[in-house]
Structure 1
Amino acid sequence: MTGKTHMLGGMAAGLAFASVTGAQPLLMLGTGIIGSMLPDICHSGSMIGRKLKPLSKIINAIFGHRTFTHSLLFLAIIGTLLDRWPDNAAVTAGIIVGMASHLLLDMATKNGIKLFFPVSVTVRLPLTVKTGGTGENAVFAILSLLTVYFGYIAFDFASLS
C-alpha cells in the first residue's frame, strides 16, 4: 500500500479506537497516523524513510523490507518501549493501533509481510490488491468512508446539534 492509504488506515483505526474506548479523538487521530507510518522505516523511499534516510537504510540493510518492522515482534518492542513512560497509555495505544492497521493493509498486498519474523513465513490475506492499483483505490475509498463514520462517532457530532 502507498503512504496515503497507510495514513488513512491509521486515521480510521485511531478514530475507531476512540469511538469504542472514549479516548481523546484528536490524540488517537495523530498517534494513529504516526503508528501507521512507522513500519515503513525499513524502506528509504517511504514517507518516514525519506525523513530518516540514514536510519532507514541501516534497517533495510540489516532486515530488508516488510520483515522485522512489519512483525508482531516489532509491534511488541515498540509497545514495550512506549509503555515505559508514565501516563502514556493513550499515546501507546494510538501508535500500536496505527501500526496494526499498517500490518493489516500490507497483508492485503500480493507481497504480504513476515508477520512472525524471525520465522520466514509470508502472511497475506486471501484477497490481495496491487499497490497503487485499482484495488488499492477501492481500499482507500472504503477507508475514507470509515474515517468519516468513526470520526462522526468519536467526536460525537450528534450531541452538538
Structure 2
Amino acid sequence: MTGKTHITGGIAASLAFAQITDYDPAILLLTGVVGSLLPDICHGGSKMGRTFPLLSKTINMIFGHRTFTHSLLFLFLVNLLLQTFITNDSVIAGLMVGMASHLLLDMVTKNGIKLFFPWKLTVRSPITATTGGHAEYAVFAVLSLLSVYFGYDVFMSYLAGARH
C-alpha cells in the first residue's frame, strides 16, 4: 500500500478506536497517523525512510522490507519501549492502533508480510491488491468514507460532552 492509504487507514482505525475508548481522540488521531507510517521505516522510499534515511538503510540492510518491522514481534517490542518511556496512554494506544492498521493493510498486498518474524512464513489475505493499483484506490476510498463516518461520530460525541 502507498503512504496515503496507510495514513487514511491510520485515521480510520484511530477514530474507530476513539469511539470505544476514553482516550483523547485528537492524540489518538495524530499518533495513529505516525504509527500508520512507522513500519515502513525499513523502506528507504517511504515517508519514514526519507525522514530517517540512516536508520531506514540500517534496518533494511539487517532485516529487509516487510519482515521485522511488519511483525508481531516488532509491535510487542515497540509497545514495551512505549510503556517504559511514555506516560500518556493515548499516545501509546494511537501509535499501536496505527501500526496495527499498517500491518493489516500490507497483508492485503500480493507480497504480504512476515507477521511471525523471525519465521519466514508470509501472511497475506485471501484477496490481494497490487500497491498503487485500482483495488488499492478502492480501499483508499472506503477508508476515506470510514474516516468521515467515524470522525463525525467522534466530533459529535465531543460536542455533546462539551455542552455538559
TM over 0.5, shorter chain: yes
* Unpaired stretches in structure 2, ≥5 consecutive residues: none
Report the CA distance between 1:129 and its aligned residue: 0.4
Report the CA distance between 1:98 and its aligned residue: 0.2
CA-based RMSD of the aligned residues comes to: 1.5
In structure 2, the residue matched to 1:121 is 121
CA contact (8 A) 2:10 2:36 kept: yes
Q: Distance in 1 between matches of 2:137 and 2:81?
A: 34
In structure 2, the residue matched to 1:31 is 31
* Unpaired stretches in structure 1, ≥5 consecutive residues: none
Percent pairwise identity? 62
- List structure 1 runs of 4+ shifted beyond 6 angstroms: none
For residues 12-161 of structure 1, the aligned pairs below 5 Å read 12-85=12-85, 87-156=87-156, 159=160
Secondary structure in structure 1 of the residue aligned to 2:127: coil
Q: Distance in 2 between matches of 1:19 and 1:40?
A: 27
Letter of the 2:42 partner, please give it.
C
CA contact (8 A) 2:23 2:89 kept: no
Report the CA distance between 1:89 and its aligned residue: 1.4
TM-score for the superposition, normalised by structure 2: 0.94
Residue deviations 1:6-45, cap 9 Å, x none?
Answer: 0010011111111111321111110100000000000000
Report the CA distance between 1:85 and its aligned residue: 2.9
TM-score for the superposition, normalised by structure 1: 0.96
CA contact (8 A) 2:28 2:94 kept: yes
Aligned length: 161
Q: Distance in 2 between matches of 1:132 and 1:16?
A: 25
